[in-house]
Amino acid sequence: MIKRETARDVALSIGAHVVLFLVFTVSLRFGSSLDDAVPGTEQSMQATAISQPAPDQKAEREAEREAEAQAQREAEAQAQREAEEQARREAEEQARREAEEQARREAEEQARREAEEQARREAEEQARREAEEQAQREAEDQARREAEEQARREAEEQARREAEEQARREAEALAQRQAEARGTYDAAIRQKINRAWSRPPGIPEGLSAVVAVRLGPGGTVLSAEVVESSGNAAFDRSAERAVLRADPLPMPDEPSLAAPYRRGVELTFTPE
């Protein structure tokens, strides 16, 4: 609307200037003719005739209107061209701004995608490193636990072997001492039983029997029983009675050495 009013104003201005120019031209021509004409001459008559209103004035006014219309049309065409040029420039400017805005948005989107991709790669790399470190720590911890377990088993095995060896040595030493004690105390027990034995009538020479004897504290005889008979019942009974009459029997004071006698020992009874 504003552009059409501007075009109209320009057309009116141009038309006014054209009219003024035509009036000025006609005035100059008429003035020159009047000044040059001699009164009473034909030229003076023509000038007078020209100065008088004539039918040509209608044509002049028509020409003036046509000129005004032409000027208005040209002004409108000029205004239209200018408006089109302005619209073109504005459209180009708008297109340029939109292109720049589009390029800016695309650049921002590209930068955002690249930043996200970079962040994703960094997160994956961080996760990978953490997973590797975790796996390494777990492997080291597993290796440490296995080494500790191996060391523990080896230590236990070593301790077990040493304990067994110690027990074996102690058992051998005890067995050796018990054997020595048995040799001493068995002989003393047989000697005391022999002294307490009375030969039954009619018992042949050379008989022997094995008597199982179990002793209590202080050598108290708890039981006496023939486990291997001599073949002579009277001899076997006399052997058992001899053990009971010999009560208490000699026995070691040390518990470890007295243990076999508490459990029971077998003595071969062969009276001389």
Could you read off the pLDDT of 205-220 as tens digits, one per residue? Answer: 889 999 999 999 999 9
Direct distance between the N- and C-terminal alpha carbons of the chain, in angstroms, rounded to an integer: 163
Specify the pLDDT at position 20: 62
Smallest Cα–Cα separation from 186: which of 262, 265, 125? 265
Using DSSP, state whether 13 is helix, strand or coil.
Answer: helix
CB-based contact 118:110 (threshold 8 Å): no
Q: If pLDDT is split at 50, 70 and 90, which confidence band does 40 have?
A: low
The predicted-structure confidence for 82-122, as pLDDT tens digits, reads as follows 999 999 999 999 989 998 999 899 989 998 999 899 989 99
Unique residue bearing structure tokens 């040390």 = 254
Contact indicator for 226, 210 with CB cutoff of 8 Å: yes
What's the CA gap between 98 and 192, in Å, rounded? 133
The DSSP output letter for 265 is: E
Give the pLDDT of residue 49.
47
The answer to whether residue 147 scores a pLDDT higher than 60 is yes
State pLDDT tens for residues 234-264.
Answer: 999 999 999 999 999 999 989 989 999 999 8
Mean pLDDT of the chain: 83
The span from the CA of 172 to the CA of 174, in Å, is 5
Q: Phi-psi category of 110—alpha, beta or left, where left has phi over 0 and alpha has psi -120 to 50?
A: alpha
Q: Reply yes or no on whether the pLDDT at 43 is more than 70.
A: no
Confidence class for position 174, pLDDT limits 50, 70, 90: confident
Q: What mean pLDDT is predicted for residues 14-32?
A: 56
Is the CB of residue 206 less than 8 Å from the CB of residue 232?
A: no
| CA angle (31, 32, 34) in 5-degree steps | 65
Residue bearing tokens 């390029």: 103
Other Cβ atoms less than 10 A from the Cβ of 181: the count is 19
